[in-house]
Chain A
Amino acid sequence: MVEVFDRISEIRDGKRVIVKKPELLAPAGNLEKLKIAIHYGADAVYLGGEEYSLRANADNFTIDEIREGVEFAKKHGAKVYGTTNIIAHNENIDGLEEYLKALEDAGVTGIIVADPLIIETCKRVAPKLERHLSTQQSLSNWKAAQYWKEEGLERVVLARETSAEEIREIKEKVDIEVEIFVHGAMCIAYSGRCVLSNHMTARDSNRGGCCHSCRWNYDMFQNTDDKNFIPLSTENTPFTMSSKDMNLIKHVPEIIELGVDSLKIEGRMKSIHYIATVVSVYRKVIDAYCADPENFVFKDEWLTELAKCANRDTAEGFFKEFPGVNEQLFKNHSHKTSHEFAGMVLDYDEESKMVTLQQRNYFKPGDEVEFFGPEIENFTMVVDKIFDEKGNEIDAARHPLQIVKFRVDQPVYRYNMMRKEN
């Protein structure tokens, strides 16, 4: 066990319990995703506004929406962080002060930030905001962490290239909050050090314009005389640079024992089904471990559950071992998910046992479906007769967002989700 600045566990009545429970931090691509993330167990969410947030094409929040998100989060005891992690150009200086003040005013807890322009401006004009160093700075040593601590930052997000051992040493040597990525897509490059998109598509990757040029196919050639290019790849095996997605679910206990302060899930562009699934699994593992670390046993069903929303293979990044060929994707960068989000529960009538559900994908009587949500244990059932809002029987739930009703014997709750095997 590490000696860190704040104690991680203590003995109560002869039993060790975790007293430092880390934050589970989830992406919020829009208001609906924010609410779902919090409802499914996130302690905090991060979101971006139009201008400064490195997701040029994600749904972005207006200030009013941020305010609404913060209110919702506060009501549920959760925090909201604003992502302002672009590497700014001169033209981005105008408007920055107003934006940071607006974030502070909207009640956001802090910002995730990479450029000292924004770090310093925030200190000056919005001092109530915490400042967390973004992974775009590729922070990977304790001396640099010490530097940012002395600069007054509350937290650093480490480079995805740091290992468990390195995280341990950083936590031991520096009294600063540490956040790490535990789940989701990752750059194959050092964050902030890739300008492929600038060259290939005239879009600035460090201001949200990344076109995933790393995942394109290239041919490799050798040239020793400045003239003849000799092919080293064949048509079937083009050169490509895709990383498998990160998945550290099995290491959550170790991450907690390392004293990591925040476990971050990537994916502001991901669906609510994805967010709900991933957040709820991490929530369960964190809670189970913290409640009774000595008797904790990892359940395979957690892995199965995560796999239901994954459309890419996963690996463990740099956490334990240096990634090699098996941690990359060559031919198929993504596949169909095993399950499909079929609907969201709006209401449930205990007496008639009828659910009111918003359709998210086609389903019909006779389909086997699975319900999940924070209040219930997952269960599967076969859909019986389906009715529309007016009570007319219909042959299938065909239309997106259509409101339908059918019988569900076990109680379900608002925001529970229904999925169907593909």
Chain B
Amino acid sequence: MNKPELLLTPTSVDDIIPLSEAGADSFVIGEERFGLRLAGEFSKEDVKKAIQLAHSKNKKVYVAMTGLFHNDKVDEVEQYLKFVHEAGADAVLFGDPAIIMARKTLGIDIPLHWDPHTLATNWYTCNYWGKKGAKRAVLSKELSMDEIIEIKENAEVEVEVQIHGMTCMFQSRRPLVHNYFEYQGKKLKVEEEKGKLYLFDPDRDNYYPVFEDSNGTHIMSPNDMCIIDELQELVEAGIDCFKIDGILKSPEYLIEVTKLYRKAIDLCVTDVDEYEDIADELLERIEEIQPESRPLDTGFFFKETVY
């Protein structure tokens, strides 16, 4: 059985070594100018350093260029892609086809991972982007276990699935929090409030994290998905990469969670019985370190969505 890769989004360069030692196989990093909702802001210098550190541990680094670009960024996108390539990144994440065009113009063959957030929902389209140069598809978070497995069965590209952490529910280009405070006639330094602001939904008794950056307003899921005790089916299906999203999490938390998932994945491959025996315990250990304001759930894996 293939062992799936365990991917982390680190909060800073300082996380690379400890997360590598905790069991991460790969990292997604980048800067807000080109990537959306990253766990940490990595300058070009940081990117170079992170790549060097990760490579020294035989780990991979992917750089996020998942933004929805307007004309003003088209040239910069090309320059940044060139930089990422020269810095030795192992792949670039993209959603906007402008990246495919830029890669062609530059004549470089850096691998691409297709990560359009909400749009990767069927196997045919994953394969379409595969033909356009994507080596991997990062699936949308709103899919059920059955849908994910069917995609994997039919995919000609690698398949990545998020298994832990927060997900995004909404992105607007507008500064909605700013506008709201202006409407109330109040002032708030919204940039300083990342990770502290929540929208409360009284009907569902949920708190949704909300933050603003140069890409607009982002509203996040009220719970952290966690399927450390339900990995077996995905491993057996041959999913190529499992992602733990580190956004709005502390390095200490991420290191602990990485260790636990490392153990779970290794056991799924080498000793399924043992995995089944300790799966509940692994989940409990995550519950112990889980922030009070972030309940755990199983995302969309076992939910039925209609339309």
Contacts and interface: CB of A to CB of B under 8 A. Distances in A.
A144 interface: yes
A222 B196 contact: yes
A2 to B, nearest CB: 14
A272 to B, nearest CB: 27
Interface stretch (A15-23, A223-231, A360-368): A223-231
Contact of A193 (B100, B117, B221): B117
B292 to A, nearest CB: 5
A107 B301 CA distance: 41
Interface residues of A, number: 75
B71 A239 contact: no
A227 B291 CA distance: 9
Given A141-B98, A221-B200, A233-B184, A87 B71 contact: no
A116 B73 contact: no
Given A214-B170, A223-B198, A239-B180, A141 B73 contact: yes
A328 B179 contact: yes
Interface string B52-70: 0000000000000000111
A198 B210 CA distance: 17
B122 A193 contact: no
Interface string B267-307: 00000000000000000000000011100000010011111
Given A194-B170, A203-B305, A229-B200, A116 B128 contact: yes
Interface residues of B, number: 70
Contacts of A89: 121-122, 143, 147
A114 B128 CA distance: 13
Given A203-B305, A218-B199, A324 B102 contact: no
A330 B183 contact: yes
Nearest to B291: A226
Contacts of B199: 218-221, 239
Contacts of B201: 200, 216, 218
Interface string B104-132: 00000000000001110111110011000
Interface string B150-191: 110010000000000000011111111101101110001000
> Which of the listed residues B98, B150, B175, B177 has the most CB atoms from chain A within 10 Å of its own CB?
B98
B142 interface: yes
B71 A170 contact: yes
A222 B192 CA distance: 12
A262 to B, nearest CB: 20
A140 B70 contact: yes
B101 interface: yes
B97 interface: yes
B125 A88 contact: yes
Contacts of A87: 118-119, 121
A198 B170 contact: no
Contact of A202 (B74, B174, B303): B303
Interface string A211-249: 000101011111110110100111001010101000000
A115 interface: yes
A195 interface: yes
B219 interface: yes
A227 B122 contact: no
A199 interface: yes
Nearest to A120: B128
Contacts of B256: none
A202 B306 contact: yes
A222 B193 contact: yes
B71 A90 contact: no
Contacts of B208: 218
A293 interface: no
Nearest to B182: A325
B293 A202 contact: no
Contacts of B304: 202
Given A90-B122, A141-B73, A224-B196, A198 B204 contact: no
A117 B126 CA distance: 9
Interface stretch (A161-169, A253-261, A282-290, A402-410): A161-169
Given A141-B73, A204-B307, A227-B292, A90 B125 contact: no
A190 B171 contact: yes
B196 A202 contact: no
Contact of B101 (A147, A188, A198): A147
Contacts of A227: 292-293
Contacts of A267: none
Contacts of A121: 124
B137 to A, nearest CB: 12
A307 B195 CA distance: 42
Contacts of A162: 70
Contact of B151 (A90, A141, A192, A237): A90
Given A140-B70, A328-B179, A193 B305 contact: no
Interface string A154-197: 00000101100010011000000000000000001110111110
A193 B193 CA distance: 23
A88 B204 CA distance: 28
A374 interface: no
A203 B193 CA distance: 31
Contacts of B197: 220-222, 232
Nearest to B78: A143
Given A141-B71, A216-B201, A325-B183, A207 B307 contact: yes
Contacts of B292: 226-227
Contacts of B141: 195
Contacts of A229: 198, 200, 207, 293
> Which of the listed residues A202, A206, A325 has the most CB atoms from chain B within 10 Å of its own CB?
A325
A159 B200 contact: no
A203 B305 CA distance: 5
A330 B184 CA distance: 10
Contacts of A200: 201, 204
Interface string A138-151: 10111110111000
Interface in A123-146: 137-138, 140-144, 146
5 contacts: A90-B154, A143-B98, A220-B200, A223-B293, A241-B172
A-B pairs, top 4 by smallest CB distance, nearest first, are: A209-B307, A143-B98, A147-B97, A207-B307
Given A88-B121, A194-B169, A222-B193, 5 more contacts: A115-B119, A143-B69, A193-B170, A194-B170, A221-B200
Interface of B: 68-71, 73-74, 77, 96-98, 100-102, 117-119, 121-125, 128-129, 141-143, 147, 150-151, 154, 169-177, 179-180, 182-184, 188, 193, 196-202, 204, 207-208, 210, 216, 219, 221-222, 291-293, 300, 303-307
